[in-house]
Structure 1
Amino acid sequence: MASSLFLGAAFLVFAVRRGLTWLHIFQQEEYDGPRFFRWMAAARAFDKRATLPLLACWGAALAAPEAAPYAKWAAGLVLLAVAAVEDNPLKAAKKKLVLTARVKRILSVALGLTAVYAVALALCPAAPAALLPFWILGVQALPLALVAANASLAPVEARIQQGFWNEAHQKLLRLAPTVIAVTGSYGKTSVKHILAHVLGCYHPTLMTPGSINTPMGISRIIRERLTDAHRFFIAEMGAYGIGSIERLCRLAPPDFAIITNVGPAHYERFKDLATVVRAKFELAHATVARGGRVVLPSALLGYDHARDFAAANAGAVLLCAGADAAAAAGTTEPSVRVLEAGQDLSGIHARLLYQGQEYAVRAPIHGMHHVDNVALAFAAACGVGVEPQRVVSALRSLPQITHRLEVKPQPDGSVLIDDAYNSNPSGFASALALLDLYRKSGRRGVLVTPGMVELGTLHDSAHAELGARAAACADVLLAVAPARIPTLVEAFRAAAGPDQLVVECPDFASARAWLAANIGPGDAVLLENDLPDLYEKKVRV
């Protein structure tokens, strides 16, 4: 009995430590059971550390029945040893496990299920040789316990979230700021940042910070930060499928909307661009239903759904056309047109045509893709009543956008171009153009990238195209987790000259070590995208 209790206690200690490991990934997969299991299958993330020694204990019990009583003691020691060396995702992770109330509930229920299983095995009088396979099964089933716990808590979570939702919704209706909602395949966080700065220069403005764009994230910001002093509330709205944005619009009914673009970001979820367009335009439909107005890039008129919407709601649509977007706009005259644009090492500049008058715009941010973002924000700010010249003035003091082509001069004289939060082909290409600008100023260009994620069937082709482009803009490629992006690495090598270098780095730690040893005052380093742990880090189980 003592050996059984020891083994049961050791199993529970192991379950706590390993449960945190699995919960870390489960959280990054947004508590989506099927996505979590698909990640496990793709990463082959099945326990080996504990299972192989436990199989050895079982084999010994079968081969030498006289030694079988010691098998449980040995199995318990194995589990304790594995628990002792398990990584702690609360500390040893790039994006650490956040112990939210929901996480604690999931972990508590999962450990409760595991404890029942462990007690049943510990009290079972069967021989060790017969029971050890069930302990091994318990080790392998821990991810299933987390998913089962999450599923069992679904009604509880729904009630809790509905309470937060109701509180936020009622507060928003009571305080009645002008709600401006921003969505798009990419660029929405940047447009939100630009617009919030412009409006904030003249009126109290609250925006959802960072990349917060889910119902609970938006609810929390409304509940905790919105006051009756705020004239504008800018909410980023993310789409994870058809209906996502419609639900967000019920939470925060929009008076004004911006759709930044449609592209292959999160293509893995949507499968085709027509579905992406329908998902994003849920925002446009909700806005005009309230008598509001919608800012759209004229390039979106190339999609049937967008073109039909613009035709049916011409008086409510403000179109923004880039310098090369006249064809996409068709016969509809855009509200804002980019006549010309460029960038230098101090930022971007453009001439915008608005209501028949030209405005020279300059903003101290980098990346030509931000010209379109600035035009969208310009149209929105004017659309809610800010005078155009005041918009121009505010843009001159626009702060850089954190981790989105953020240029950071380093103490050693080198330059870091931090684009860690970017993960789309258009932004990647714009970042390479900025790196090339630094190369032309006499610096060595170093590209550090693990590539992009959630491109679905476009993964290989998109990376091959950017690999060839990178060879024209970078002297050194540090390919992080290169097995994920073989087409990028191959295309870079094929297009590179004899003096260009490819360094394959298994993870960002290796890339940082190379940079520490090789970067000097004459270098410009582009960090293009960073990966969450589930993409970069091989979970050691």
Structure 2
Amino acid sequence: MDYAVLTSFVTNVLFVTVLGWYLITNLQWYDYKLSRVILKHHKPHWHLIYFFIPFVAYHTTGEFFVIFFYFAIIPAMLVWHKKLDKKLVLTWRVKRFLILLVSLVLFQDILCTLKSACEVYGVFMPLAIAYIGSYMIEKFLFMAYQKEARKRLKDIKDLQIVAITGSYGKTSIKNFVAQILSKKYKVYATPRSVNTIGGIMGDINNSLPQDTEIYVCEAGAREQGDIYDIAMFVEPQTVVVAKVGEAHIEYFKSLKNIIATKLELMQSPRLDRAFIHTSVTDEPHEKVTFFGDAVANINATLDGTSFDLVSQEQDLKLHTKVLGGFQTMNIAVAVEIARNFGMSDEEIKEAVEELEPVEHRLQLIKAGGKIILDDGYNGNIDGMLEGIRLCSLHEGRKVIVTPGLVESSDELNLRLVEAINDVFDIVIITGDLNAKLFNQNITVQNKIMLKNKESLTDVLANQTKAGDIILFANDAPNFI
């Protein structure tokens, strides 16, 4: 093999690997759904720059492609990758895809003798076969993992399962339910924002303790049928459908479709009790308890939250260090679930008093004389408006860092803009998703627009000082 042939061989292997890396990174962001990568991507121009132009150049530049690859494509991809704040996680699924892809391109290049065929199929075929092959492997493993997870659930005697869904608040409710019930029972909850059927199965197989008495599970959806699949799989006895709104409206097309999808959780074969927010439905059902209107006298400050829970049973006066008036609704349903599991009001009051704030959801942090409200994982209008209201209580300067609402409407973003204009001294808008809308409507004098978060640390160091309060509202990744 002479030098030119060897160079072409190595370049071809590296080029296909680079395109495969780009493809699998985007697939991981969008739940491995190719249709979402193609049709729902928040920055579709990336596909043009980092995939289609290199792909066309491979077929049109001939012997000069080697130069274009090493001096244009690789540097561009390295810069792109470096700027990502949500980089590719090398899970076993990703490793299997990359190993299969590299094996295919090596096999093809070694055996390929028809030069024209190699040029035509040298990139497309390995990528296509690796994607299809990886998909088939994952389907097979999915069935195996599902069987194993079902067996594990059945092997835990008398296991009670609480499943929680909704547009807003489901992760907070999950954490509050788990914290309160853990004062009396052995409770395990799905970690972080694990809420897909694949994530739930993996968590059951790898982490669910054998002595668990109550398993608290979060159920998320990107399309109709997702919640139904989870309901049929875990078969919860207790379900919660939290507040529903126009989150992910671009996937569901209408609020009616969102509500119908969330209510799929009610189809659990073992349903005993359902707690449903009044925004979802008001249709009576013998197994349904409605929530959302049972809190009164809310006093929510930067020091904590107090409220009264009004119910058919004894009313409760509750206090928690959890911030945000909207969280009283989420705590209230957690209290009703605890009552349903036989906890006394005294046990519940003590548990609520000791509730820990949910990470990245109005989490108060003090650093360098500054107050930081980390609300990075909150992406709904109610939560963001409450974060802004809490900041308004601070006597010093007020700073907000936000990309705005994601997967939402201009109308709701304009509501957010109006609230920001009334409260903040410094506004830092990250990303370009809502940049035009915010730039046109933000009237705060000190307004900073950042295309990405690469320079955010330096901007905050230069713009903020001790005594400021800084709200991080909806920390969306750069690809959004």
TM-score relative to the length of structure 2: 0.91
1:186 aligns with 2:143: no
- 1:485/1:48 CA distance change after superposition, 3 Å: closer
- 1:413/1:26 CA distance change after superposition, 3 Å: same
The residue that corresponds to 2:403 in the other structure is 450
* 8 Å CA contact 2:16, 2:127 repeated in 1: no
2:459 is aligned, of 486, 511, 514, to 514
* 8 Å CA contact 2:236, 2:271 repeated in 1: no
The residue that corresponds to 2:379 in the other structure is 423
Per the TM alignment, residue 400 of structure 1 is displaced from its structure 2 partner at its CA by 1.4
Cα distance in 1 for residues equivalent to 2:15 and 2:329: 52
The residue that corresponds to 1:277 in the other structure is 259
The residue that corresponds to 1:164 in the other structure is 145
Alignment coverage as a number of residue pairs: 476
Cα distance in 1 for residues equivalent to 2:334 and 2:224: 26
What residue identity is the alignment partner of 1:159? F
* 8 Å CA contact 1:467, 1:488 repeated in 2: yes
* 8 Å CA contact 1:421, 1:530 repeated in 2: yes
1:479 aligns with 2:452: no
- 1:54/1:96 CA distance change after superposition, 3 Å: closer
Per the TM alignment, residue 24 of structure 1 is displaced from its structure 2 partner at its CA by 1.2
Q: Secondary structure at the match of 1:477?
A: strand
Cα distance in 1 for residues equivalent to 2:188 and 2:4: 60
Cα distance in 2 for residues equivalent to 1:238 and 1:277: 13
The residue that corresponds to 2:290 in the other structure is 319
Per the TM alignment, residue 56 of structure 1 is displaced from its structure 2 partner at its CA by 11
Cα distance in 1 for residues equivalent to 2:176 and 2:138: 35
Identify the structure with the greater helix proportion: 1
Per the TM alignment, residue 116 of structure 1 is displaced from its structure 2 partner at its CA by 5.8
Stretch moving more, 2-11 or 184-193: 2-11
- 1:194/1:89 CA distance change after superposition, 3 Å: farther
1:518-537 residue CA offsets vs partner (Å, 9 max, x unmatched): 211110000111122421xx
The residue that corresponds to 2:332 in the other structure is 375
- 1:152/1:198 CA distance change after superposition, 3 Å: same
1:290-332 residue CA offsets vs partner (Å, 9 max, x unmatched): 24101112233xxxxx333xx2x23x1122233xxxxxxxxxx
1:259 aligns with 2:261: no
* 8 Å CA contact 1:54, 1:78 repeated in 2: no
What residue identity is the alignment partner of 1:507? N
In structure 1, the gaps of 5 or more residues are 60-70, 301-305, 323-336, 536-541
1:293 is aligned, of 263, 268, 273, to 273
The residue that corresponds to 1:343 in the other structure is 300
1:75 is aligned, of 65, 71, 80, to 65
Per the TM alignment, residue 138 of structure 1 is displaced from its structure 2 partner at its CA by 6.1
Alignment of 1:97-496 (within 5 A): 97-115=88-106, 118=109, 123-124=113-114, 134=119, 141=124, 146=127, 149-175=130-156, 176-286=158-268, 289-300=269-280, 306-308=281-283, 311=284, 313-314=285-286, 316-322=287-293, 337-410=294-367, 412-438=368-394, 442-455=395-408, 458=409, 460-482=410-432, 484-493=434-443, 496=444
The residue that corresponds to 2:8 in the other structure is 7
Per the TM alignment, residue 489 of structure 1 is displaced from its structure 2 partner at its CA by 3.3
Q: Secondary structure at the match of 2:266?
A: helix
The residue that corresponds to 1:65 in the other structure is none
* 8 Å CA contact 2:431, 2:478 repeated in 1: no
TM-score relative to the length of structure 1: 0.81
Q: Secondary structure at the match of 1:202?
A: coil
Cα distance in 2 for residues equivalent to 1:420 and 1:462: 18
- 1:527/1:88 CA distance change after superposition, 3 Å: same
In structure 2, the gaps of 5 or more residues are none
- 1:388/1:147 CA distance change after superposition, 3 Å: farther
Cα distance in 2 for residues equivalent to 1:146 and 1:368: 50
The residue that corresponds to 2:44 in the other structure is 42
1:97-153 residue CA offsets vs partner (Å, 9 max, x unmatched): 1122211222233334544665577x4567xxx99xx48x967x5xx8546533333
Per the TM alignment, residue 383 of structure 1 is displaced from its structure 2 partner at its CA by 1.4
What residue identity is the alignment partner of 2:373? I
What residue identity is the alignment partner of 1:76? V
Larger radius of gyration: 1
